[in-house]
Structure 1
Amino acid sequence: MKTISCMNIDMELLSSFGGEIKLYKKGEIIFREGDHALYYFQISEGKVKLNNYDDEGKEFIQNIFGKKQSFGDSMIFLDKFYPINAISLEHSKIIRVPKNNFLELLDKHPNISLGMNACLSQRLYYKILMTQNMSSTNPVLRLKGLMEYLKSYYEDDCQHCFRIELTRQQIANLTGLRVETVIRVLKRMEKDNLLKIVNRKILY
């Protein structure tokens, strides 16, 4: 079992520090690339994707988050602009806490602060592993690196139970492979019992 994959702070505690529930429609932007990080966000219901676009308008999905997960956490501690967008993938209910209030929460609840440090450290660790695998000429290692990184945000470490919420084209865009190569390699990985494909859905 992994240590800590994503923060899930008690909703009542977040509310007591000024947290407010916001409702987002499918496709609605939660924050944009270039915005200041002003809030801590945690999903109560729904799904959110983090993405950005290159100069040609091609989309790169960084991750997809679901219920009880937080996103954009690391930017709270930096006086920087978001390098990504956050977009609701479905009707979502999200609690957001103003940055200063959230920092006060961490100061008064050091156990949560330690948990967040562990969470951010784990994300950085898997990000490094993914980057290393992405430099490989072996397409299997590229796909495994991406899937391990995505799975690292979830606590459940069981085999073939994590659903990859990306299309074949999106996987190709993220790994620098041709979509035909991705399809062929996924079939090979399934044959080698590295993943399962059920109704075209990838389970890693």
Structure 2
Amino acid sequence: MRILIYWNKLPQDQRTMLRNFLSENFRLKTDQLFEVLTVEEQDSLMGSGVTHEYKKGEIIFREGGIPTGIFYIKAGRVKKYKTNPKGNEHIFYLCSQGELLGYHALLGEEYYMDSAATIEISLITFIPKDGFLKVLRSSTTFSNALLKALGHEFSFFANSISNLATKSVKERLAFNLLILDEKFKNKDLPHEGNEIILSRTDLTNMVGTAKETLVRLLQEFMRAGLIEKTDKTIRILDRKALVKEANLMGSNTKKL
């Protein structure tokens, strides 16, 4: 399923406000960790790794597995999810280019608490534990940045749990469309519509609902003029209205 999101009904200052809000509250920020490394440290870290091309839907690691290193996404996108006893997935985060996977379990010397799988063809570098810890121990700047990232994770998960527990399904759908827009934005064409390719099953598992409910709500958004939907494409026509449907910032959404 392809989703195109357009900015044309949201002024530039309000777009910036919304992006900052989503970035601060609903992004893990691991893509910023490598920015603090020197060129030599980056070469040391990546030089110890092995890059592999993953097919769409390929598992990177599974819940309950033992971590032996971390994963760096060079290209592509990866879903992080939990599986319930019935085998149903709940996708709680999408990782994209530049982000790290698996470092939390590695540092805590724990089993993986979630699973990760690609949603498109991806290039991912596996960095062994020894290579990662070597740079971590030698770079105070990197270790401090990682501590900040770990601290930010608490806020991220608290916000995510609150979002799932307190928002209606319709609000969660609108919210996730906004999140996906940030994850799939075209850096070369920031003011154009962002094309998001995500299966209906994955979107259902992100929102936390049944497929039938998802289809009904998408049709409701279409009738209200928020989106235009074809067999494989969703175009968001009224972003301002979508922000209000998401009820992201309570009374602050009136400013958007």
TM-score, reference length from structure 1: 0.72
Relative to structure 2, which stretch is displaced further, 7-16 or 91-100? Answer: 7-16
2:63 aligns with one of 20, 26, 33: 33
**Residue 16 of structure 1: which of 44, 50, 55 is its match?**
44
Higher relative contact order structure (alpha carbons within 8 Å, sequence separation ≥ 6): 2
CA offsets 1:88-112 (integer angstroms, 9 cap, x no match): 3444322222224323312322222
Deviation, structure 1 residue 68: 1.6
Contact 1:52–1:84 (CA under 8 A) maintained in structure 2: yes
1:70-105 deviations in Å (ceiling 9; x for gaps): 122322221110122223344432222222432331
Secondary structure of 2:166's counterpart equals coil
Residues of 2 paired with 1:175 and 1:189: CA distance? Answer: 15
Find the aligned partners of 2:108 and 2:152 in 1 and give their Cα distance.
Answer: 18
Say which SS state the counterpart of residue 31 (structure 2) adopts. coil
**RMSD across aligned C-alpha pairs, in angstroms?**
3.8
> 2:161 is paired with a residue of what secondary structure?
helix
What SS does the corresponding residue of 2:30 show, helix, strand or coil?
Answer: coil
- Do residues 167 (structure 1) and 191 (structure 2) align? no
Is residue 6–residue 153 contact of structure 1 (8 Å, CA) maintained in 2? Answer: no
Residue 99 of structure 1 corresponds to 129
Per the alignment, residue 215 of structure 2 pairs with: 183
Whether contact under 8 Å (1:48, 1:66) holds in the other structure is yes
How far off is 1:202 after superposition? 6.7
Partner of 2:5: none
Amino acid at match of 1:185: L
- Higher mean alpha-carbon deviation, 170-179 vs 65-74, is at 170-179
- In structure 2, relative to structure 1, the CA distance for the partners of 1:110 and 1:85 (3 Å cut) is same
Aligned partners of 1:48 and 1:86 also within 8 Å? yes
Contact 1:172/1:182 (8 A) holds in 2: yes
Question: Paired residue for 2:233, among 192, 196, 200?
Answer: 200
Counterparts of 2:194 and 2:93 in 1: how far apart (Å)? 14
Q: Deviations over 1:56-78 (max 9, x none)?
A: 33233333322222122322221
2-structure distance, mates of 1:117, 1:154: 27
Amino acid at match of 2:44: S
Amino acid paired to 1:16: S
CA distance in 2, matches of 1:130, 1:25: 28
1:62 to 92, 97, 106: 92
**Contact 1:129/1:145, CA 8 A, preserved across alignment:** no
**Helix, strand or coil at the partner of 1:105:** helix
Give the 3 Å change call, closer, same or farther, for CA 92–152 of structure 1 in structure 2.
Answer: closer
1:166–1:118: structure 2 CA closer, same or farther, 3 Å change rule? farther
* Residue equivalent to 2:104: 74
Conserved 8 A contact 2:185-2:194: no
SS state of the match for residue 7, structure 1? Answer: helix
TM-aligned CA distance change 1:155 to 1:166, over 3 Å: closer
User: C-alpha separation between the residues in 1 aligned to 2:158 and 2:185?
Assistant: 19
Which consecutive unaligned segments of at least 5 residues does structure 2 have? 1-19, 240-256
Give per-residue Cα distances to partners, 1:25-80, cap 9 Å, x unaligned: 31443222222122121111233333343333323333332222212232222111
1:7 aligns with 31
Matched length: 203
